[in-house]
Amino acid sequence: MRVSRYRPVVYVQLFFLFVDIFINSFGELFRTADVVLLVLYIIQDVCIILAIIVVFLLFFNTYVFQAGLVSLLIRKFKTTIIIAVVYLALSVGLHVWTMTKKWGDPQRFVWNEALQALFVFQRVGAVLYYYFYKRTSLRLGDPRFYKDTEWLRQEFARTH
């Protein structure tokens, strides 16, 4: 992919990450307004879904995918795919659980041990998600994925 086409995609991916980081960092400041917090959580979950979709669109755009080496892409990026899906599940779970406990009484203390554990797992998952997603975003900018190269021929010979 040419740099002129890839740069806006990277900016969109970074925008999704920054929105997620912002909501993870400052979302609890809006805990007194149920509707605002609900909207923020929906925005965060939609950004995670869109970020995953963008990665798959980048996969489909590669020469590797078009040459039929989908297994190569999955092998190289399976950690990112798994972490992104797990992080999405943790985020949705945390958001649903938090909102069902707090709705109507935002000042009520709802932090039992299970919710605290889910919160910690979601935040640890967030760090892993940010690292692997950004790494995948930058690795997909490698020209080897977008043209026929000796590396790709070797990978094709190895799999067939």
pLDDT digits (tens, 9 = 90+) for 42-74: 999 999 999 999 999 999 988 888 878 888 888
What pLDDT shows up at residue 156?
Answer: 73
Structure tokens at 137: 């975003």
| In contact, 72 and 159? CB cutoff 8 Å | yes
Of 147 and 119, more confident: 119
Picking from 84, 83, 97, 107, the residue whose alpha carbon sits closest to that of residue 41 is: 97
| In contact, 115 and 37? CB cutoff 8 Å | no
What pLDDT shows up at residue 25?
Answer: 95
What pLDDT shows up at residue 1?
Answer: 55
Tens-place pLDDT, residues 21-40: 999 999 888 888 889 999 99
Q: How confident is the model at residue 157 (pLDDT cuts 50, 70, 90)?
A: confident
Instruction: Give 41's DSSP letter.
Output: H
